[in-house]
Amino acid sequence: MSFMQVTTDLFTGFYENLIIFFVTLLGAIPLGLLITFGSMSRFRPIQWLTKTFIWVIRGTPLMLQLFVVLYIPGLLFGVPMRSRMTAALVAFIINYSAYFSEIFRGGIESISKGQYEAGQVLGMTKTQVFFKVVLLQVVKRIVPPMGNEIITLVKDTSLARVIAIAELIMAAERYAGKGYIWPLFYTGVFFLVFNGLLTLLFGFIEKKLDFYKG
Amino acid sequence: MPVLEVLNIHKQFGKTEVLKGIDFQMDEGQVVSVIGSSGSGKTTLLRCITGLETADCGKITVGGRTTFDSTDNRKLTKAEKRENQLCTGLVFQSFNLFPQYTVLRNVTLAKELLVKEECKQQKCPRNEMKARISEIEETAKQIIDSVGLSDKLANYPCELSGGQQQRVAIARALMLSPKVLCFDEPTSALDPEITGEVLSVIRKLADEGRTMLIVTHEMGFAHEVSNEVVFMSDGVIAERGTPDEVFDHPKNARLQEFLSATLRA
Ligand SMILES: Nc1ncnc2c1ncn2[C@@H]1O[C@H](COP(=O)(O)OP(=O)(O)OP(=O)(O)O)[C@@H](O)[C@H]1O
Ligand SMILES: [Mg+2]
């Protein structure tokens, strides 16, 4: 059992983590935005519904949500989840959209009323005010908390192994079963390197947005 | 014909009645100052006139166009709303510049969006749109120059002093050539030693014949720059007249009290 062999095997596992990571980002950001608008809606029932959704999703473990998404369709509707990966992606997207939506809401609500009013008295439409005045300011404010959450997501992808997705840590566990512990520790390097790259990326974005203060 | 006509404006927040029937009008080129103690409803009045707040009752006409009428229940189209909005301009106490844009961009943005939309509607050719946009930039530069900030075109608001920021805010409002320009305590957020630069810009606008409605606590300035002074007290106009009448021969007891209190301060 060579180092190269282990590395290749772990990469195969890490590939699953990466899929979960990128697809979750792609799905949870737009869904999160939708939930944000729901939770800020002036229509009470929608607001109530989204707030309850956020409460449930944030109030229960992601691990449990993975099981629920995997088993509930079969138990309740008689249509079992065909692919465990699909179940994982659905659970991750739902879970992270709840967290993202709260970050988005915080960002949007942190923009002073004066910005909207200034836009309005200058004759801009609500859409123009949102896209031309507010959006970039919101983005600037949410980059740090989003960076945090996204780095957490990288590590959370390993939870997928509870529904038997052969991700990185599971790949290493197979070696542990054969008496080799070190590949398990080696997985840390994968997370560290990937999160290091993300940290650099977020640092870069923060710097790009640092051309103004406030 | 008056350029601004405010008729019987009432405004209530929950159970508190803030405006209890405001009537006044001003003519083209006039400068009217609004004074009054804190909580008397000055800001609320300006916000009703500039459309940031919807009055409960009454009518507002700007330059012959009715921008608000509580008896008219018709739903306004987007275009009508915008047209109404552009009749008035407002300079805020807290400037409210857009922090991510340069001084020039702060001034051009709204006008540019407006022109782009117009061009799209009229399907005018690209180069015509470009010409009109560069025209906007030229106008903006002139206006910024007139408030004395031509050397700050490329600076961001965070790089400017409060006085400079407020002058940019004035330029930004002027860019849309409102028929009535409103100011809500334009110098209250500034250090005393730099209020002068903002006041002198407003003074210059008055000399140019701009129609302006100014809520202010600067009594000396109001006295000097206004054609008329309005004293608000508890949601009504308690007294109005020329600066000499209001400041030197106040009749209303509340006004006398207010003036002696501010003079003592
Ligand atoms: N959005 C609001 N909701 C509830 N009450 C409000 C609101 N805006 C203003 N008020 C109340 O209306 C009254 C008048 O407020 P307004 O801001 O118009 O006074 P003002 O004359 O501008 O005072 P100041 O000189 O302190 O600026 C105050 O009692 C205030 O608490
Ligand atoms: Mg006020």
The pLDDT tens digits for A116-134 are 999 999 999 999 999 999 9
Do B72 and B12 have their domain in common?
yes
Based on the fold, state whether residues B104 and B139 are members of the same structural domain.
Answer: yes
- What's the mean pLDDT when you consider all of chain B? 94
**B27 and B83 share a domain?**
yes
Question: Could you give the angle at the alpha carbon of A45 between the alpha carbons of A40 and A50, nearest 5°?
Answer: 50
**Which chain B residues are Cβ-neighbours of A120 within 8 angstroms?**
51-52, 85
Query: Could you read off the pLDDT of B52-87 as tens digits, one per residue?
Result: 999 999 999 999 999 999 999 889 998 899 999 999
Supply the pTM of this predicted model: 0.91
Asked whether residue B80 falls in the same domain as residue B164, the answer is no
Closest to A30 (Cα-Cα) out of A89, A134, A85, A100: A100
Question: Among all chains, which residue has been given the structure tokens 């939930």?
Answer: A35
* Residue B14 and residue B82 in one domain: yes
A212 near B CB under 8 A: yes
Could you give the residue ranges of the DSSP H alpha helices within chain A? 3-39, 44-59, 62-77, 84-109, 113-121, 126-128, 135-156, 168-177, 182-208
Is residue B43 in contact with ligand 1, taking CB distance under 6 Å?
yes
Beta pairing, strands B16-26 & B4-13: antiparallel
* Cβ contact, residue pair B52, A128, below 8 Å: no
Separation of CA B39 and ligand 1 centre (Å): 5
Task: Verify that B6 and B67 share a domain, yes or no.
Answer: yes
Q: Are residues B2 and B85 in the same domain?
A: yes
Residues (pLDDT < 50) of chain B are: none
Same domain, B6 and B80: yes
Q: Is residue A137 part of a domain?
A: no
Q: Residue A156: which CATH number?
A: 1.10.3720.10
Residue B219 lies in a domain: no
Question: Domain tally for chain B?
Answer: 2
B223 lies in some domain: no
Pairing of β B212-215 and β B180-184: parallel
How confident is the model at residue A78, as a pLDDT?
85
Per-residue pLDDT at A195 exceeds 80: yes
Chain B CB within 8 Å of residue A46 CB: no
ipTM for the assembly:
0.94
Per-residue exposure over B46-58, b if at least 16 CB sit within 10 Å of its own CB, e if not = bbbbbbbbebeeb
- Predicted local confidence at residue B95, as pLDDT: 96
User: Does ligand 1 have an atom closer than 6 angstroms to the CB of B61?
Assistant: no
Chain B interface includes A110 (CB < 8 A): no
Atom of ligand 1 nearest to the CA of B44: 18
Look at residue A11 and tell me if it is in a domain.
yes
B158 in a structural domain? yes
Which residue on chain B is closest to A135 by alpha carbon? B100
Question: What is the structure's pLDDT at B122?
Answer: 87
* Gap from B259 CA to chain A (nearest CA, Å): 31
One domain, residues B31 and B60? yes
Q: Which residues contact A134 (CB under 8 A, 6 or more apart)?
A: A108, A111, A115, A116
- Which three-class secondary structure state does DSSP give residue B182? strand
Query: To the nearest whole angstrom, how far is the Cα of A211 from the nearest Cα of chain B?
Result: 8
Is residue B120 domain-resident?
A: yes
| Per-residue model confidence (pLDDT) at position B25 | 94
For residue A1, the model assigns a pLDDT of 72
Which of the residue ranges A87-91, A106-110, B259-263 would you say has the lowest mean pLDDT?
B259-263
List the single residue in A with minimal CA-CA distance to B172.
Answer: A122
- Mark yes or no for CB contact B96/A213 under 8 Å: no
Q: Is B176 in contact with A125 (Cβ distance < 8 A)? A: no
Chain A partners within 8 Å of B97 (Cβ) = 118
pLDDT value, residue A213: 87
Instruction: Judge if B139 and B85 occupy the same domain.
Output: no
What range does the domain containing B140 cover?
95-177
CA B165 to ligand 2 center in whole angstroms:
19
A180: containing domain:
3-111+147-208
Establish if B170 belongs to a structural domain: yes
Number of domains composing chain A:
1
| CA–CA separation, A160 and A167 (whole Å) | 7
Assess contact for B223 and B247: CB atoms under 8 A: yes
pLDDT of B46 reads 97
Q: Is the CB of B13 under 6 A from ligand 1?
A: yes
Contact B86 A137 (CB under 8 A): no
Is residue A9 situated within a structural domain?
yes
Give the CATH number for residue B239.
3.40.50.300
Q: How far is CA A135 from the centre of its chain?
A: 20
Burial B227-240 (b: 16+ CB within 10 A, else e): ebbbbbbebbbbbb
Nearest CB to A212 within list B85, B90, B99: B99
B52, B98, B176 ranked by CB distance to A133: nearest: B98
Q: Does the C-beta of B39 come closer than 6 Å to ligand 1?
A: yes
pLDDT digits (tens, 9 = 90+) for B101-132: 999 999 999 999 999 998 888 888 888 889 99
DSSP result, B195-244? HHHHHHHHHHHHHTT--EEEE-S-HHHHHHH-SEEEEEETTEEEEEE-HI
> B28 in a domain, yes or no?
yes
Are residue B109 and residue B134 in the same domain, yes or no? yes
The span from the CA of B123 to the CA of B104, in Å, is 27
Q: Are B169 and B116 members of one domain?
A: yes
